[in-house]
A and B are shown apart, each in its own frame.
Chain A
Amino acid sequence: MSPINFVYLASVLFAIGAAAVLLRRNAIIAFMGVELMLNAANLTLVSFSRMQGSLHGQVMAFFVMVVAAAEVVVGLAIIIAVFRSRQTISLDEPIELKG
């Protein structure tokens, strides 16, 4: 099976993730969309690594995993803090960002 198929799969996963971020109000679900996008990116990195026959992409994927793990910690902490202060985690509620 040609590695290019994994790239197609990654594109589909990325689109699903982006759609989740853009369309869902629930912060947790949106967050999951972000994770999905990150992993789609990882998949492309690994696929290209395979196609190029070099390990650079795989090393990059590890970095992304580590950063994503840290990001999940921070992100979930923010979501919990928002929920505590507002009793909701709807993304459309906290409009204090409005200028």
Chain B
Amino acid sequence: MLSVSWLLIALPLASFFGLMLAGRRADAWGHWVGVGVSAATALIGIVAFFEMIGRGASDRAESVRLFTWFSGGEFHLDAGLLLDPLSVTFVLLITVVGTLIHVYSVAYMAHDPRRRIFFAYLNLFIGAMLLLVTADSYLLLFVGWEGVGLASYLLIGFWNHKPEYATAANKAFIVNRIGDLGLILAMALMFAHFGSVSFADVFAGADGASTAALTAIGLMLLLAATGKSAQFPLQSWLGDAMAGPTPVSALIHAATMVTAGVYLVVRSGVIYEGAPDARLVVAIVGALTLVIGALIGSAKDDIKKALAASTMSQIGYMMLAAGLGPIGYVFAIFHLVTHGFFKAGMFLGAGSVMHGMDDQVNMRRFGALRSAMVITWATFGFGWLAILGVPPFSGFWSKDKIIEAAFIGEGWQPWVFGLTALIGAGITAFYMSRLFFMTFHGQKRWTDGQHPHESSLLMTVPMMILAAGSALLGAILGVGNRFQHWLEPVFGTHEHGEPVLAVPVLTTLTLVLVVAGVGLAYWMYLRKPVPIEPPPASLAVLAARNDLFQDSVNRAVFQIPGTHLTRTLVYADATLVDGAVNKQASGVAAFGESTRRFQSGRVRSYSLLMLLGFVVIAAILVVGG
């Protein structure tokens, strides 16, 4: 099955083109084609996984050469796929979660006249994302990278008849361009230093390369990762990306695409191996984003934006783990997988709530929804327990490992990163409990005439499966370090020291902080009534409500100076460059205007001029001759 892995990419792309070209006649059944194709990719992924499991550990990476992509002079690049435990892990996550969300979308988008196009876009995303994680060179990865960016843009702006949604799509696209620039520069640097952009050549050459070169490449890759994964300082687009339909938020902006940055950093581990400074920056970016996301999540009243902030914060955890080096890679990917399940499940739950509440997203208008939608409450509850890190739910297995790993090391780093991760877990518990209590418990704060109801089975079954994943996946993969052994062929085994605090102490501390966070949320949002209008708040809360002023900062630091710079350049262009050209033209015109006077049309003056000219020539001949 590994040899036909190109079908993973070809099938969804064929379905995308087919659904787009089929037109209205496919409206009745097009969504089932989308679901079927997604399920087929999941099947291929599962078969490939079992085929790989059947092999010896050293034999699990397989390159599939597809065709010669470029060949010119000394440069030669094959388009090929690399299937190893890391990429197969991603393939499984993308196709399984993707298929569940496809099924959910059939019901969620049932009343949308453009449902067929929605599924075409979803399939485009699946194809591009699978290309991203299976590519065997940075350039082919970049094709998938841009493909998911395009799909994300199309889906955020799916309801682009609302101008602010179209603006959100543009914002996501433009912010991502900055990150893409990083990836392009990284590839240029690789080409300059290693003469190739394929994983094999770059990783082979990284041993002999200078630290400065590797640091530059690492920082550029990090820039790319911050764009795609909504990390500081390019995090501002993710909150607005919630303009897209909720299944999109679940699939693209929680489970898969936004984790592509983590994949990129982990895949490029060899480069960061030789560039400790770049790796430290990765960890700092992760820790910063972790805190930023958690603070924003604590103040948002829009259920989807609160979940988006939580996604940002959780990816911050993954980034932090990736920045810790080889000891963290496994946990970054582990958390990525469990997060993919429980966050997708919670987003689908949020979609189910919105479905029952006439697209209301303001949590101050929810409350007491448990009685109305028990299945949604239960599945969301599983996700909530998982993200809290309550044992034995999945988050406990992955997040605790990251916190432990963050405490390993020497000097100031374990204390700073470890305490950040630890406190982040407490804040996470607070904002997720706040979200959960405000939505499902307390008094009814519904607008008049609302009759919330449970969603149909097409929506609840995927939620139940994801909830089961939230509950069990961590234990299945975590017991006996199964996941670690599975990824060993990619990352190798690494001995590492003990955390600066003993592991039981850390686990206890984490749980104490989580309980404290839940307790605070209970006290603030269950014991006290939740006002429908947001109460006046302190400066800190206001800042968090406004995304810590990220848009204002971007506007003040980049947009306004950029606009002025552009205007100055336009002015300089108009006055200097264009001015010189225009002056030349008008000079010629003025010269013509002045010589035009000689063309009087009088024959006798012409002949006088001829005579004078003749006399002058004769004089020159006589004098000079």
Contacts and interface: CB of A to CB of B under 8 A. Distances in A.
Interface stretch (B32-40, B422-430, B597-605): B597-605
B601 A97 contact: yes
Contacts of A94: 601, 603
A13 interface: no
A21 B607 contact: yes
B139 to A, nearest CB: 62
A95 B608 contact: no
Interface in A64-92: 91-92
Nearest to B606: A97
Contact of A21 (B596, B600, B604): B604
Nearest to B595: A99
A96 B600 CA distance: 9
B278 to A, nearest CB: 72
B594 to A, nearest CB: 13
B53 interface: no
A12 to B, nearest CB: 16
B599 A98 contact: yes
A69 to B, nearest CB: 22
A18 B611 CA distance: 8
Contact of B603 (A23, A97, A99): A97
Interface of B is mostly: helix
B604 A98 contact: no
A99 B601 contact: yes
Contacts of B604: 21-23, 25, 30, 91-92
Contact residue range for chain B?
10 to 19
A95 B601 CA distance: 5
B589 to A, nearest CB: 15
Nearest to A27: B603
Nearest to B614: A18
A4 to B, nearest CB: 17
Nearest to B601: A98
A82 to B, nearest CB: 11
B601 A22 contact: no
Interface in B537-582: none
Contacts of A98: 599-601
A21 B609 CA distance: 12
Nearest to A25: B604
Contacts of A97: 599, 601-603, 606
Interface in A8-22: 18, 21-22
Contacts of A25: 604
A30 B607 CA distance: 11
Interface residues of A, number: 14
B593 to A, nearest CB: 11
Contacts of A95: 600-602
A96 B611 contact: no
A23 B604 CA distance: 8
Contacts of A21: 604, 607
Contacts of B599: 97-99
B607 A96 contact: no
Interface string B508-532: 0000000000000000000000000
Contacts of B600: 95, 98
A22 B608 contact: yes
A99 B596 contact: yes
A7 B604 CA distance: 27
B596 A22 contact: no
A92 B600 CA distance: 11
A97 B609 CA distance: 15
Nearest to B597: A99
B597 to A, nearest CB: 10
B611 A91 contact: no
Contacts of B608: 22
A91 B601 contact: no
Interface string B200-211: 000000000000
A36 to B, nearest CB: 14
B607 to A, nearest CB: 6
Which of A23, A91, A96 has the largest count of B CB atoms less than 10 A from its CB? A91
A56 B508 CA distance: 127
A78 to B, nearest CB: 12
B596 to A, nearest CB: 6
Interface string B416-436: 000000000000000000000
Contacts of B603: 91-92, 94, 97
Nearest to A33: B607
A27 to B, nearest CB: 9
Contacts of A30: 604
A98 B606 CA distance: 11
B602 A22 contact: no
Interface of B: 596, 599-604, 606-608, 611
Given A22-B611, A97-B601, A98-B599, 13 more contacts: A21-B607, A22-B608, A91-B602, A92-B602, A92-B604, A95-B600, A95-B601, A95-B602, A97-B599, A97-B606, A98-B600, A98-B601, A99-B601
20 contacts: A18-B611, A21-B604, A21-B607, A22-B611, A23-B604, A30-B604, A91-B604, A92-B602, A92-B604, A94-B601, A94-B603, A95-B600, A95-B601, A96-B601, A97-B599, A97-B601, A97-B606, A98-B599, A99-B599, A99-B601
Nearest first, the 10 closest Cβ-Cβ pairs linking A and B are A98-B601, A99-B599, A95-B601, A97-B601, A91-B603, A22-B608, A91-B604, A21-B607, A22-B604, A98-B600
